[in-house]
Chains A and B, each alone.
Chain A
Amino acid sequence: DQQVKQNSPSLSVQEGRISILNCDYTNSMFDYFLWYKKYPAEGPTFLISISSIKDKNEDGRFTVFLNKSAKHLSLHIVPSQPGDSAVYFCAASGMTTDSWGKFQFGAGTQVVVTP
């Protein structure tokens, strides 16, 4: 069973507008979340993270929101740029010794930013 789900396989957004990517998880023990961006034929690159002690984390154009009660997180990209066209993965991990570092990944969302 996938414990991390990205239910939108694709998203098309106009340049300059906001991109909102969603991620849901089922394991209440997950405490640490990451977003990665992946271009074709390259490895994923780290974008932004958030831990359960926060509900929001910002880094430039990227903001991640965490709603623990709903087991939901989202990534906002504002404004969207053509270079943001990529596949975005969310990942989750627990903070216990046994689970730390063992990330569960969602299936990814393909973002296309159009001019």
Chain B
Amino acid sequence: DAGITQSPRHKVTETGTPVTLRCHQTENHRYMYWYRQDPGHGLRLIHYSYGVKDTDKGEVSDGYSVSRSKTEDFLLTLESATSSQTSVYFCAISGGTSGTQETQYFGPGTRLLVL
């Protein structure tokens, strides 16, 4: 199993509160991703990173920002949480020493509830 951890694993917050989720990897993979999983939608890409300080938007990026200041950490921030951001958030990594993007390995997920 790829070494990926996410913190916190569960969080309850109130509307309008800023929230930061952390993804940490010990695999030295180049690419990191944030997805959200909602019923009927599968997983949808929020943002991704192709290197330190290199990030780009995914399919559902509105209301989210990310930062990657070092290879092992990828942070997802909800600047002002809304109830529509209640979801399960997954981090994924890909691209080992070969530099390829192929298979993505997922973290255990963070369950976020915005009241």
A107→B109 contact, CB < 8 A = no
Q: Are A105 and B42 in contact (CB under 8 A)?
A: yes
Q: How many residues of B are in contact with the other chain, CB < 8 A?
A: 26
- Which residues of A lie under 8 Å from residue B106 when comparing CB positions? 36, 43-45
Q: How far is the CA of A46 from the CA of B94 in the complex (A)?
A: 12
Given contacts A42-B108, A43-B109, A101-B31, contact A106 B42 (CB under 8 A): yes
Q: Which of A2, A49, A106, A108 contacts B102 (CB 8 A)?
A: A49
A34 at interface by CB-CB < 8 Å:
yes
> Across the two chains, which residue of chain B brings its CB closest to A5?
B42
- Determine if B101 and A107 form an interchain contact, defined as CB atoms under 8 angstroms apart: no
Contact B103 A34 (CB under 8 A): yes
Tell me if A103 counts as interface (CB < 8 A to partner B): yes
Grouping DSSP codes into helix (H, G, I), strand (E, B) and loop, the B interface class, with mixed when no group exceeds half, is: strand
> Contact at B42–A4, with CB atoms within 8 Å?
yes
Select the stretch in B12-20, B43-51, B70-78, B79-87 that faces chain A.
B43-51
Q: Across the interface, do A49 and B103 meet the contact criterion of CB distance under 8 Å? A: yes
B residues within 8 Å of A by Cβ? 4, 31, 33, 35, 40-45, 48, 50, 58-59, 90, 92, 94, 101-109
Q: List 11 A-B contacts (CB under 8 A).
A: A6-B42, A43-B4, A44-B90, A49-B102, A89-B42, A91-B43, A101-B48, A101-B50, A101-B104, A103-B45, A107-B41
- Seed contacts A32-B102, A89-B42, A89-B43; 9 additional CB < 8 Å A-B pairs: A41-B108, A42-B109, A43-B107, A44-B90, A45-B106, A101-B101, A102-B58, A102-B59, A105-B35
